[in-house]
Each structure stands twice: as structure tokens, then as C-alpha cells.
């Protein structure tokens, strides 16, 4: 079971090229998709979810052509977009039952069992009779998650799914996705690098509509081992440091800038070599596309 995306491109009427010849093979399990705002992640998700047409390219899920067999895809697809609407005057269990009917679950006892199970799993059981208009943002997000899981989907797409969730809810949801991902394909589009490192067996970084890198999280981290350096600097040094070194990220620690630098060569001048993490890989790849967007090529790290 795998999703194969080949040479996918999409340019909107305003001239924005959201997808630029994207090719990815997404295997069974959890797949993480990382990228900044405007990178093309949501455009890619919407295209896979049969909600928009690309200008060119193909998408295959096993033997199903996603672009030409949309109704077949929707039968085994679970999709949680970044933004979605709900009927504010209806209760959570009524809404979930309604979407279960739309999903094709016509047997009432089967539908009831699924609705009850998902309300329990998403921690909404105690609030199932309340109108969703009074739900918090996190509760609405959990209901959206329950809707996406209806019908035992084989392909699940979740776009920024933990937005609005507190740490306990976030871990509950991610554990649920991790369990489901053992037997199906789950695409997790997120800004949270930690989620991808901990949960996903494979991943890709996308920026400016291009795939900058793909592979296993462990392998892509290994690829930059020995090349990431850090140093605290004074604020008045920032401009000179940026000119002299390949600074990939800066964060403030107790009021002082801590810079991470990518370098193939040994650095002195107070820099300390560190063990890289996935965040370093992410910032490095984003910086490469920003520096030379026309020349960058996709890097695939061997599994």
C-alpha cells in the first residue's frame, strides 16, 4: 500500500505556482510533511484529497488513479483540513452521525458503534449532547479528527491537526494516529518538527512548491552529522556573523542570540559542534531554497 505522486504542478490564476513538479512516494505508515507557511503543503493536501485539480502530473494510490477515480478515493479517504466548518446548533453526536451517513455507513447499529467509539477516542463523550457552537477551538478540532476517522479509511490526510490542542489532547491524538498508521497511509502536514521526528517513519520537506528533501528522519539527520555548529553571540554581532557564516537558525536564550551554523569545515571562533536534530535539517533545507531557488534540487536520503 503506497501513494505515488509524480510530476505534480499547480499554478493558481493569480500566478502563484503552489506546486512545482512534485514527486513523492509515500509508503504505508506515518508520513510527515514539513514546510513553512505558503510552502505548498495545503495545496498538495487538497489535491490528494480530490478537492482541486492539478495542471499536470499523476497521483496513484495502489491501483486507484486519484485524479480520475475521485468517488472511489473518497470512499477510503479521511481528511482533516486546516480549516473546516460545523453546524453550530447541532450536537457533536448528531454531526458525527450525519457525516457517517455521508460516508456510506448506512447500517444504524454499525454507525452508532463507530460514533460512540470515536467520541470516546477523541475525549468528547462527556460533551456529545452539547451544541458545537459552544465548543472551544480544541474541542472543534477533536470533532474534526473524529469525522476524518469515520469509515475506517485506508488513506488519512491531516493538515495541521494539533492546532488548538493542549499538550494532553495533542499527545492523545498523536498516539491514536500512530496506532492507526501501522496498517494504513497517514500524511501528517505540520509545523511541529518534533511530531515528525517522534512519529513518522518517512518524511519530506517542501518549500516554494518544491520538495527539498525526503527520506527517513534518522537518515536525514545523519546526513548533516558533524556539520552543525552553535555559538552565543552579541546582538551587535548578528550582521557580521550572518555575512561570514551559513546561519540556519537563531533563537533567543535568556536574552542572548544562539545561532546554529551549517559548515562542512571545522569552525573556531567559539563555535561548538553539536549533534544535529531534525529542526537543524529543516532550517538548513529551507535556507538552501531561499539562497538559490532556481538551482536547488530534491535530495532523497536512502532508507
Interval 158-171: pLDDT, tens: 988 876 678 887 88
Residue 268 has what DSSP assignment? -
Please give the pLDDT value at position 295.
Answer: 43
| CATH code of the domain in which 15 resides | 3.40.50.300
Beta bridge partner(s), residue 83: none
Question: In terms of domains, do 140 and 76 share one?
Answer: yes
For the cut 90, the answer to whether the pLDDT of residue 293 exceeds it is no
Question: CB-hemisphere CA count at 13 Å for 238?
Answer: 11
Number of domains in the chain: 2
One-character DSSP codes across 151-210: T--SEEEEESTTTT--HHHHHHHHHHHHHHTTTSEEEEEES-HHHHHHH-SEEEEEETTE
Q: Residue 190's closest CA among 11, 5, 13, 34?
A: 34
Rounded to two decimals, what is the model's pTM?
0.85
Question: In terms of domains, do 227 and 210 share one?
Answer: no
- Cα 174 versus chain centre, distance: 12
C-alpha 81/C-alpha 27 separation (Å) is 21
Residue at which a domain ends, from 179, 194, 215: 215
How many residues are given for the chain?
303
Residue range 247-262: mean pLDDT, rounded: 93
Question: In terms of domains, do 34 and 160 share one?
Answer: yes
The residue whose grid cell reads 485524479 is: 67
C-alpha 123/C-alpha 128 separation (Å) is 10
Residue at which a domain ends, from 170, 197, 215: 215
How is residue 155 written as a grid cell?
488513506
Residue range 270-276: mean pLDDT, rounded: 94
Question: Per mean pLDDT, which of 19-23, 120-124, 288-292 is the most reliable?
Answer: 19-23
Residue range 62-91: mean pLDDT, rounded: 90
Residue at which a domain ends, from 194, 215, 236: 215
- Owning domain of residue 143: 2-215
Amino acid at each position: 500500500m503506497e501513494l505515488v505522486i509524480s510530476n505534480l504542478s499547480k499554478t493558481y490564476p493569480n500566478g502563484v505556482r503552489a506546486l512545482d513538479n512534485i514527486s513523492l512516494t509515500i509508503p504505508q505508515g506515518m508520513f510527515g510533511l514539513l514546510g513553512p507557511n505558503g510552502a505548498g503543503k495545503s495545496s498538495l493536501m487538497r489535491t490528494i484529497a480530490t478537492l482541486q485539480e492539478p495542471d499536470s502530473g499523476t497521483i496513484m494510490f495502489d491501483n486507484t488513479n486519484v485524479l480520475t477515480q475521485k468517488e472511489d478515493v473518497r470512499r477510503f479517504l479521511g481528511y482533516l483540513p486546516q480549516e473546516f466548518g460545523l453546524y453550530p446548533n447541532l450536537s457533536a453526536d448528531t454531526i458525527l452521525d450525519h457525516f457517517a451517513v455521508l460516508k456510506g455507513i448506512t447500517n444504524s447499529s454499525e454507525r452508532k458503534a463507530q460514533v460512540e467509539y470515536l467520541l470516546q477516542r477523541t475525549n468528547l463523550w462527556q460533551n456529545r449532547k452539547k451544541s458545537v457552537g459552544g465548543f472551544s477551538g480544541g474541542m472543534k478540532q477533536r470533532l474534526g479528527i473524529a469525522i476524518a476517522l469515520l469509515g475506517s479509511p485506508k488513506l488519512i490526510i491531516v493538515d495541521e491537526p494539533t492546532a488548538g490542542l493542549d499538550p494532553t489532547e495533542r499527545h492523545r491524538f498523536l498516539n491514536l494516529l500512530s496506532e492507526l498508521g501501522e496498517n494504513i497511509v497517514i500524511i501528517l502536514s505540520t509545523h511541529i518538527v518534533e511530531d515528525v521526528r517522534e512519529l513518522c517513519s518517512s518524511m519530506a520537506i517542501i518549500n516554494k512548491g518544491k520538495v527539498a528533501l525526503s527520506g527517513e528522519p534518522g537518515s536525514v539527520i545523519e546526513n548533516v552529522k558533524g556539520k552543525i555548529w552553535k555559538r552565543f553571540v552579541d546582538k551587535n554581532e548578528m550582521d557580521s556573523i550572518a555575512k561570514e557564516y551559513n546561519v540556519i537558525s537563531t533563537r533567543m536564550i535568556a536574552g542572548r542570540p544562539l545561532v546554529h551554523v551549517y559548515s562542512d569545515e571545522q569552525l573556531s571562533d567559539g563555535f561548538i559542534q553539536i549533534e544535529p536534530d531534525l529542526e537543524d535539517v529543516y532550517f538548513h533545507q529551507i535556507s538552501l531554497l531561499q539562497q538559490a531557488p532556481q538551482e536547488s534540487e530534491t535530495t532523497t536520503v536512502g532508507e
